[in-house]
Amino acid sequence: MQGSELPFLSNWQNFYMLIGTASATLTGLMFVVTALIAGIDTHVSTLNAAVSAFNTPTVVHFSAVLMLAGILSAPWQTFSSLSLLLGLLALGMVIYSLIVLRRMWRVPNYQSTLEDWLWYMAFPLLAHVLLIVAAFVLLKNPSLALYMVGSVMMLLLLVGIRNAWDMVTFLAVERSHSENKNRNSDVALQEVGKTGRKKNKPSK
């Protein structure tokens, strides 16, 4: 199949450009998430663990989609090299998912829910395993394999969007609670200060 791969890939170029641009743009949303973390009143160790278990993997998902779009947009001459590269990328992502699994178990003062396990672990892992399968199928059935890779990219993009929204809303609420808590503490300190000054007034 030397030189016969280009027509297959060229049919997908608009899709790769669209989804790659979307993933690159949505990565900017994670900067908003990071900005929201700054206003939360909690232990630094808890924040660092949560960022490693939830925020960073979402950025990795967007980056994986962008990387796949770039890889598949390259002018490949044979599918053998592309298959190997996709397989290595997918294997690396599976290993990274296992690292994220350990991080999710070790987040202090937080118990991951079933929804967390599905969206932050199960669905991304499913996409990575499907990418491994697509890498093997690519040599025998390129058309089917490219549809599988496209499905993987869509799944990772949707997972990233959902998780980014989940983190933005969660952190916004937590930041609001922290600000209200600090505001109430300041009011309480002011009241104590006023009461103390009144008690210290000399009696007539």
Are residues 157 and 19 in contact, defined by beta-carbon separation less than 8 angstroms? yes
pLDDT the model gives residue 183: 56
Q: Is 182 helix (H, G, I), strand (E, B) or coil?
A: helix
Separation of CA 57 from chain center: 4
- Residue-wise pLDDT for 143-181, tens only, equals 999 999 999 999 999 999 999 999 888 877 776 665 555
Are residues 151 and 130 in contact, defined by beta-carbon separation less than 8 angstroms? yes
Q: pLDDT: is 45 or 149 the higher one? A: 149
Rounded CA gap, 97 and 122, in Å? Answer: 9
- Between vectors from CA 96 to CA 51 and to CA 33, what angle results, nearest 5°? 25
Domain regions of the chain by residue span: 6-198
pLDDT the model gives residue 42: 62
Mean pLDDT across the chain: 83
Cβ neighbours around 138 below 10 Å, total: 24
pLDDT the model gives residue 176: 65
Rounded CA gap, 41 and 183, in Å? Answer: 12
Contacts (Cβ under 8 Å, ≥6 apart) of 156: 61, 62, 64, 65, 124, 127
pLDDT the model gives residue 41: 59
Contacts (Cβ under 8 Å, ≥6 apart) of 58: 30, 160, 163, 164, 167
Asked if residue 32 has pLDDT above 50, the reply is yes
Rounded CA gap, 168 and 149, in Å? Answer: 28
- Residue-wise pLDDT for 51-87, tens only, equals 899 999 999 999 999 999 999 998 888 899 999 999 9
Q: pLDDT: is 167 or 115 the higher one? A: 115
What beta strand segments (E) does 22-138 contain? none
Q: Residue 92 — pLDDT band, cuts 50, 70, 90?
A: very high
The pLDDT > 90 percentage for the chain reads 56
Are residues 41 and 181 in contact, defined by beta-carbon separation less than 8 angstroms? yes
Q: Residue 199 — pLDDT band, cuts 50, 70, 90?
A: very low
pLDDT the model gives residue 69: 96
What the block records as the tokens of 166 is 């989940």
Asked if residue 4 has pLDDT above 60, the reply is no
Rounded CA gap, 163 and 115, in Å? Answer: 10
Contacts (Cβ under 8 Å, ≥6 apart) of 126: 155
